Amino acid sequence: MQNLELEKIASQIRRDIVRMVSAVNSGHPGGSLGCADFLTFLYFEQMFHKPNNFTMDGKGEDLFFLSNGHISPVWYSSLARSGYFPLSELATFRKISSRLQGHPSTDKKVPGVRMASGSLGQGLSVAIGAALTKKLNKDKSIIYVLHGDGELQEGQIWEAAMYASANKVDNIIATIDFNGRQIDGDVEQVLSLGNLEAKWQAFGWEVLKMDGHNFDSIRKIMQRAQSLIGNGKPIVIIMKTEMGQGVDFMMGSHKWHGVAPNEEQLKLALNQLTETFGDY
């Protein structure tokens, strides 16, 4: 897909995100905006998946897990925009009886979601489990999982990291949304991750880095990651992003991690994001 086309999709997804959270005066726009380019690339170029025929087992398909479930707006928009469910459903986000819960869940059977997430640190283990089943089923497709950087403070992540390399779970590509922010402030201040690259390397993972707002960089690294599948090591990508990317007043701080824009702020945000495929 042309970069221009991907940029158009990402712009529309960013509009969806700010409109969704603003409508219910709650939700997490910061990390959602920061991952809009990545999820656009995953759902519209990278993954082999069947949006019109969702099955829980996803046999023969690449699977995506969102471990940092609070950035559900970007995921829901990506799913709807790629055809998993009607766009109009985005208007129900966080509302009573909606399938689009504040944090993703499976109990209301929203197509595209295979595991609840929100309580942090659990998605890597889940992704490894799905990857092991792919291997047992002789299914060559790939497991993708996305994590927040603050989420890496959870101990379970490192249990999972240790397991995956020790057992050569080499059909998994984990990505870290490395925006350096978490609710209480900068990750560096709240609890420094130290040398993240060295940590993952020490845990036996193949470590790649990319710019999460540059489609050339994303494409190059995702292709590189895909070429490393089956080489005996799990793969992690440290993806540099900006929390709030695309909306100037939401960038450069942790303030918009979990705060929704009011009506006036929504207008300001939408003025910076081109409507390309029509609002929901």
Interface residues toward other proteins, by CB under 8 A: 56-59, 63, 65, 105-107, 114-119, 121-134, 136-137, 139, 155-156, 159-160, 162-163, 166-167
Structure tokens at 274: 């081109």
Which residue, 23 or 116, is less far from other proteins as judged by CB? Answer: 116
Give the nearest distance from C-beta 219 to other proteins in angstroms: 27
* Whole-number Å distance between alpha carbons of 116 and 72: 11
Is residue 175 within 8 Å of 147, Cβ to Cβ?
yes
Three-class DSSP category at 215:
helix
- Give the residue with the Cβ less far from other proteins, 11 or 117: 117
Q: Which is nearer to other proteins, 1 or 166 (CB)?
A: 166
Do the beta carbons of residue 1 and residue 39 sit within 8 Å?
A: no
What is the rounded end-to-end Cα distance, in angstroms, of the chain? 23
Q: How far is CA 144 from CA 49, 63, 168, 193, 234, in A?
A: 12, 6, 16, 22, 11
Task: Identify which of residues 65 and 178 has a Cβ nearer to other proteins in the complex.
Answer: 65
Q: Which is nearer to other proteins, 131 or 266 (CB)?
A: 131
Is there a contact between 169 and 131 (Cβ–Cβ < 8 Å)?
yes
Max CA separation in the chain (angstroms): 53
Q: Are 65 and 133 in contact (CB under 8 A)?
A: no
CB closer to other proteins out of 138 and 278: 138
Smallest gap from Cβ 88 to other proteins, in A, equals 26
For the bound state, the minimum distance from the C-beta of residue 13 to other proteins, rounded and expressed in Å, comes to 25
Q: How far is the CB of 127 from other proteins (least distance, A)?
A: 6
CB of residue 109 vs other proteins: minimum separation in angstroms?
10
Structure-token match 């060295």, residue found: 198
The minimum distance between CB 126 and other proteins, in angstroms, equals 4
Task: Copy the structure tokens of residue 250.
Answer: 């939401």
Separation in Å, CA 264 to CA 249, 260, 267:
12, 11, 5
Please identify, using beta-carbon distances, which residue of 11 and 105 lies nearer to other proteins. 105
| Closest approach of other proteins to the CB of residue 103, in Å | 9
